Amino acid sequence: MLSDVTTPQDLDDRFRETLAALPAAERRRDPADPVTDDAPLTGAQMLDLFDAQVTSRQLDLAGRWLRSFGEGFYTIGSAGHEGNAAVAAALRPTDPALLHYRSGAFYCLRAAQFAADPTLATDAEPSAVPARTVDPDQDADRERAVGAVRSADGESTVDDASTSEPESAADPQVSESEPAGIEATSATGAANGFAAYADAARDVLRGMVASSLEPIAGGRHKVFGRADLAIVPTTSTIASHLPRAVGMGLAVERLRRLDSAGRRTGAGVRVGSGAGATHAPWPPDAIVVCSFGDASVNHASATAAFNTAGWYDHAGLRIPVLFVCEDNGLGISVRSPEGWVEATLRAKPGIRYFSADGADPVRTYEVAAEAAAWVRRNRRPAVLHLRTVRLMGHAGADAESAYRSPAELAEDLDRDPVAATARLLVDAGVATGEELLARYDETGWQVRRLAEEVLGEPKLASAADVVSALAPRRPVRVARAVADAAARASGPGAGARAEAFGGKPPELAGPMTLAQSINAALADGMLDHPQMALFGEDVAAKGGVYGVTKGLRDRFGAARVFDTLLDETSVLGLGLGAGLAGMLPVPEIQYLAYLHNAEDQLRGEAATMRFFSQGAFRNPMVVRVAGLAYQEGFGGHFHNDNSVAVLRDVPGLVVAVPARPDDAAPMLRTCLASAAVDGSVCVFLEPIALYHTRDLYTDGDGEWLAGYPEPGGWVAGHVPIGRARVYRVGSADDLTIITFGNGVRMSLRAAAVLAEEGVGTRVVDLRWLAPLPVADIIRESSATGRVLVVDETRRSGGVGEGVIAALVDAGYVGAARRVAGVDSFVPLGPAARHVLVSEEAITDGARTLLAR
């Protein structure tokens, strides 16, 4: 009896009734023959699909069972979405996939492919598969794409209107072979049933019970992911992984076009092996697949991803991504309006539209195979709109009766994709209902047995265990990478370096500003890291709104220095995908205020990748951000934002703030080396007001300029992550000022005033806001016993709070005081002086502290 909510018992009973009622076919069909006369799948392959679907279904039932006695922690399942197994079959096991949390059958099918043939496994480290040589000019010679797929009733399942430009034809370097599909599993799966899916089932069950033996997240979260299966874990439920998928597609295509050693730098400049000269971790003709739910179509991250993919396609750049929308019509309890998802997806410019009914496994496979072939051949984006149902509610605690009628639930049960596959197999004579029910029960018994086994497995036992995979810090290796870069720049790469700098390397250019030093360090980084790419709004032709990237596109070519569309979520998403694909991305966010539009790409996507994959995947990235306040004659909140709390709150994120030219270059080199060596995600926050500053104490003194070190001096000038810089003024015995960014210059000027009054000051430039240089803070504070924290960010949520907390935690017993910005947005014009820290406030604060 169907209740007012689809319970596990309802679903199981209904499935059994369906199979029992299926009449046997008049004759048996050889499993090696097509399942129907015109089907692209054999009976054996359909049995494999059935086994994948049943495994996923039994895992959902096991999840509810585990939760019933408090041993399971995750009940969002895939029931009703099992048609996505046919999508997995239509792809190659080496196509990287980012999976929606209802893509369980997809995961099971791909794991079975690997179980049948372990040589299919991919290498998560970006060095296993060399990229092929492809001429970038071959795009112009491509042939017309394959025609539209026709649905059973004669209607096209492909929307040609979404792509106004002529379809580009196949790149000669892209393989035209059929997808690996389920050929690799048909023999093993059909012969051994559950054996091919045991590993997948164990993986998923371990995730449900938070076992530390779970292969991807190690008990940190229940995700679909495994490096050898090219399945990248995604933890979001609302499409924040879609911008990354676009970035992966862009990177896969760019890396495919590198020479066979992966060292093309653009503009005719070639260097030696370089630091981490890597290759794409996936085959050169791979495509990226990314699944998501229908409700996520409406999310800003999804809109950004679709728009970016279409924007690049319109511009003639290739992004081989297949988006898969698993549409069950609901976002928890909120309905997608009838026809809205299809209308939305069809309307995306530059993205080819395909559709299929997930309850029809043969048509789903046909359409998915056609969509994948179209993306692979043309290297262009497409979306597969897969219509599904949702069975057993959103999750275990979901009371569907509050928003769905029994009639609706019954209708969804009638479209059960597992029952549909069983019906097809029985009608075709491949199996009887009784035989399929036996497979179903055997799988259920095996899944329950595995569930009982994983219950006894260890959990993460300490905070150290939890954070062990978060963000490794290997300072010795980073220092060695900087030393190696110096050796290459002064040795085998000296000629290329001289050519790139037009015969005049930066160390011969005389004293530099902060902006000039960053520019030179970026150029040296591009020379040493052949996989490095620099991109963002206005960074290429214009050279950045402040000229920081001026001339870099001319030196290294438009393939490595390029402008993006105006969308920070997409800029960071491109970086995330590029890093995952083996590149070293250096995206620029034009102003700190604009970063807040895209914070989740750093928090929920970038910083979590190593955490939820135990380091199997990483997205190295150095995000350049122009920020902080004090611009003369150019103000307002958007261009003088002083809010960095969101950055300091992200676990594992490195936040660097160079104040002086002689710190900027070595700190940038450290960030690049840390990204390459440890996979770090670094934010390089550049104080706009100091970009072109030349003087410190008096006009014309040039005290804020600094020479650029030659490569031989890079080792001696290396700045490790989390180490401060100390300036001593006078005796340096009376007062410690702890500050960063613009505060360094103001504090040095204030210290000079105090020196005239007989006060000796040590000014500590934090340089790193995350991790804070705690050891340096404690040492320099204890040396004087009086600490003035000069924080140009806000009093609430500012950096100063972290400094004071570090002092308290260390048992500091001296005097301490803060001078910080007012809790306000930065207003326009002279009014900004009322809310920002001033030199006068610093000297007054110091005098008050000294008077105690």
Catalytic site residue from 221, 279, 639, 718: 639
Backbone Cα Rg of the chain: 30
- Tokens 């093309």 belong to 264
Question: 577 in helix, strand or coil?
Answer: helix
Q: Which secondary structure element, helix H or strand E, spans residue 343, and what is its range?
A: helix 340-346
Provide the 10 A C-beta neighbour count for residue 716: 9
Question: 351 in helix, strand or coil?
Answer: coil
Pairing of the two strands 352-357 and 97-98: unpaired
Structure tokens at 737: 């000022």
Residue 499 CA to residue 265 CA, distance in Å, equals 13
Residue 574 CA to residue 587 CA, distance in Å, equals 8
Whether the CB-CB separation of 529 and 672 falls below 8 Å is answered with: yes
Of 348, 331, 247, 330, residue with least CA distance to 290: 247
User: Is 529 annotated in the active site?
Assistant: no
Residue 541 CA to residue 564 CA, distance in Å, equals 11
Question: 786 in helix, strand or coil?
Answer: strand
Residue 444 CA to residue 64 CA, distance in Å, equals 13
Structure tokens at 499: 């050519």
* CA-to-CA dists, residue 677 to 482, 574, 643, 671, angstroms: 10, 20, 29, 10
Provide the 10 A C-beta neighbour count for residue 540: 21
Q: Which ranges of 327-432 does DSSP label H, i.e. alpha helix?
A: 340-346, 361-378, 406-414, 417-428
Residue 393 CA to residue 68 CA, distance in Å, equals 16
Question: 224 in helix, strand or coil?
Answer: coil
Of 769, 764, 724, residue with least CA distance to 747: 764
Of 216, 208, 263, residue with least CA distance to 111: 216
Residue 694 CA to residue 510 CA, distance in Å, equals 13
DSSP 8-state secondary structure symbol assigned to residue 226: B
DSSP 8-state secondary structure symbol assigned to residue 21: T
Structure tokens at 146: 């394959």
Q: Which residues are catalytic?
A: 639
